[in-house]
Amino acid sequence: MSGPTHFHFITVVWGAQYVETFLKTVVPNNLSPGNLPALRTRDRSVYVIATAPPDADRIRASAEYKRLSACMRTEVVAFDDIDFTQNKYAAMTECHRRTVRAAEGDGAAVVFLAPDAIWSDGSFARLEAIAATGKRLIAMCGLRVVRETFAPDLLAAHFRPADGTLTVGARDLVRLSLRHLHPICGQLFWDSPVFAGWPSLLFWRAGRDGILARCFHLHPLMVHSAHRGVVPEGTVDADYIWLACPDPGDVYVVGDSDEIFACDMSPAAQNICEFAPNTASVESVAAFARQQANEQHRRFLAHRIRLHAGIEPDALDWGAAEAASDATVDAILDLLAPPALIAPAPPAPEPELPAPPEPPVAVVVPVHGPGRWRFLSPRYLTRKLFEKGPREFLWVGVRKIRRRLGSGRRG
């Protein structure tokens, strides 16, 4: 199966701080030689910046926007009917819904780029190569870093003022990310004394420079939906990607950071869950997954993902991390699996037909007062039984008996 002929690279960004980070750090990084400039489909693709009206003019007036527009067609889309002061996830989701619809109308695959993500050089070229094999979903794991300390170090070491690009290789980016790892990521290590309350990612150390990751939620870097009309109803890593790309054969999970890698820059104060003493357990992770992980997320967990810097950790480091993660993941998935049947279920019993009615016996009922009785013969009772059926005949019989007795409730 052939891949997409072109892409819509979608970034949703608003607010002064995020726009500043996007323009001064993210755009120069997207313009590194192995990213946007390396795309063979660049002339047919489009870079879409969805934003709030107050930020649109600032973006268009920037030197970074001009360099981006010189590389490929770039559109700034300002949505004046979205309340960007509401819950940020709701606003982001609505922007994604609209831009995904536009990409579908153009017959393009979607590439989701966060406005604070830094990509290793060559990531976008590799994305295009994987998509050309017919894969519809490319999913990957990154790391979260502390923006206040990471960004200055990144710019000092890798920004090129001459051409306005920021180029960093995969292993250098992982090394820098490990040096500035955000506390949120620190909570995700299985041996953390303050283990995450939202354990969508699970980490094991592989030496000093490596992380072995097992993940329920991966970032959907590229989506080429198999079905028309599928748009995000929440964050793009939730049910949207399962509905858009339900076939496991259409999914490519990046297994090594040498191939594609990114880190997200977040404020040091940003938190997802409260930090509190807590140790990891398969029971607590399974309880999380029952509520937050669909079938596709659980398939993601089966993948071992290596994130590493500098000299690759030796085989013993990976082996120990992978063995520990395998045992943990197997235990989690066992708790999530439906109970297995020990033997095939027995066939349902055939419904029993009602037995034919017993021939009625003769009864006597009082007539014209308690001192006199009337004999009801078996022939009379049998005839009435087959005329009206057993339930109706019983009701009629009781009604008549009560009426003749002159007391009690009417049937």
Residues 6+ apart with CB under 8 A from 363: 376, 381
Is the confidence at residue 391, as pLDDT, over 90?
Answer: no
Q: What is the mean pLDDT of residues 374-397?
A: 44
Reported confidence tier of residue 338, pLDDT bands at 50, 70, 90:
confident
Q: Are residues 119 and 267 in the same domain?
A: yes
Please, what's the b/e burial string for 262-289 (b: 16 or more CB within 10 A of its CB; e: otherwise)?
A: bbbbbeeeeeeeeeeebebebebbbebb
- The string of DSSP codes covering 303-371 is --EEEE-SSPPPHHHHHHHHHHHHHHHHHHHHHHSPPPPSSPPPPPPPPPPPPPPPPPPPEEEE-SSTT
Q: Are residues 287 and 384 in the same domain?
A: no
Region of poorest pLDDT, from 18-27, 209-218, 329-338, 396-405? 396-405
Same structural domain, 310 and 383: no
pLDDT at site 273: 61
Which residues fall within 8 angstroms of residue 153, CB to CB, at 6 or more apart? 176, 179, 180
Instruction: Looking at the structure, tell me whether residues 177 and 289 fall in a common domain.
Output: yes
Tell me the C-alpha distance between 62 and 23, whole Å: 8
| Residue 395: pLDDT over 60 | no
Whole-number pLDDT of residue 271: 74
User: Does residue 391 share a domain with residue 326?
Assistant: no
Residue 382 has pLDDT above 70, yes or no: no
**Residue 129 placed within a domain:** yes
> Is residue 198 assigned to a domain?
yes
Answer with the one of 320, 336, 352 that is the final residue of a domain.
336
Same structural domain, 246 and 282: yes
User: Which residue from 125, 120, 130, 117 is spatially nearest to 12, judged by alpha carbons?
Assistant: 117
Q: Are 273 and 400 within one domain?
A: no
Of residues 225 and 346, more confidence is placed in 225
Query: Is 359's pLDDT higher than 70?
Result: no
Lowest model confidence (mean pLDDT) among 232-246, 318-332, 341-355: 341-355
Is there a single domain that holds both residue 268 and residue 130? yes
Domain housing 371: 363-405
Closest by CA to 197, choosing from 212, 181, 213, 183, is: 183
190 and 332 both lie in a single domain = yes
Q: What is the pLDDT of residue 310?
A: 73
Residue 2 forms part of a structural domain: no
For residues 261 and 136, state if they share a domain.
yes
CA dihedral 168, 173, 175, 181 (to 10 degrees): 140
| Positive/negative CA dihedral, 391, 394, 398, 404 | positive
Q: Is residue 76 part of a domain?
A: yes
Task: Give strand pairing partners of 244.
Answer: none
In a domain, 18, yes or no: yes
Q: Are residues 296 and 394 in the same domain?
A: no
Q: Is residue 344 part of a domain?
A: no
Across 33-42, 164-173, 320-329, 373-382, least confident range: 373-382
In a domain, 346, yes or no: no
The pLDDT tens digits for 195-210 are 998 999 999 999 889 9
Segment 29-43 mean pLDDT: 98
Q: Where does 87-192 show beta strands of DSSP type E?
A: 109-113, 117-119, 137-140, 143-146, 159-160, 165-166
Residues in the chain: 411
Q: What pLDDT does 86 receive?
A: 84
Helices (H), 195-249: 239-244
- What's the pLDDT tens digit per position in 2-13? 899 999 999 999
Query: What confidence score (pLDDT) does residue 2 get?
Result: 80
Rounded mean pLDDT, 59-68: 98
Mean pLDDT in the chain? Answer: 86
Q: What is the DSSP string of 238-304?
A: SHHHHHH---GGGEEE--BTTTS-EEEEE-TT--SS----B---HHHHHHHHHHH--HHHHHHHT--
Do 268 and 382 have their domain in common? Answer: no
Q: How confident is the model at residue 110 (pLDDT cuts 50, 70, 90)?
A: very high
Show Cβ contacts of residue 254 under 8 Å, excluding neighbours closer than 6 positions.
138, 139, 140, 141, 221, 260, 305
If you search the block for the tokens 């489009």, which residue do you land on? Answer: 46
**Residue 357 placed within a domain:** no
Please state, for a pLDDT cut of 70, what percent of the chain lies above it.
80
327 or 337, which is more confident: 327
Q: What is the count of structural domains for the chain?
A: 2
Rg (CA), the chain: 34
